[in-house]
Structure 1
Amino acid sequence: MNKHLALLAVATAFSAGAWANPEAAMNKAGCMACHSKDKRLVGPSFKDIAAKYKGQDVVARLMDKVRKGGSGVFGPVPMAPNTPAQINDADLKAAVEFILKS
């Protein structure tokens, strides 16, 4: 691979969120206004989410839930939908994986 192609590959990976910082992405997207790592705020804590889905392959399902929003799983307070303009797919996937490891 020549230098130009290698640089293009690195730039593409970076812009796609390959080196995503899930906590920074969640802060930027506004997730932390309602969620925290270990205590319930408006929505459930990451710890509670991780416990509920422990051992399950739910990354795609939770990404869809974040995109569409909803309520009822952790109580009646609805979560607003989060568009790709708020958090891109790569950052959202990294965020969900981070939450599930909490």
Structure 2
Amino acid sequence: MHLANNSEAASHALPPRLDCETAALVRGFLRPIFERAQTWADLVAALSARGYDLVFREGRLVILSHDDGRPLCTGRDLGEPLADLAARFGRLQLKTGRDGRSGWIA
């Protein structure tokens, strides 16, 4: 599939792998939000309050920046893989994007 422009490509992209230093900084900032959350709704609300969105792309939990919609990292990058979060919060309901490869919490 050919994407029309870079912004469309970015809207479906997975985040690049984080280098060690960046990963440590991002974990230090975002991981406490994940640790304090009791439900999927808590997690989404807390991330939103900090300027981030939670979406799913190609089976991965992805954190996006509100400002530009760019993917920052995955849950696994934070040490919070989707399987662990699903075990903690329960199964979540997703709305699937038209492309069939992306989605968001219903």
TM range (shorter): 0.3 to 0.5
The higher relative CO (CA closer than 8 Å, separation ≥ 6) is in 1
Higher strand share goes to which structure?
2
Higher helix share goes to which structure?
1
Compare CA radii of gyration and give the structure with the larger one: 1
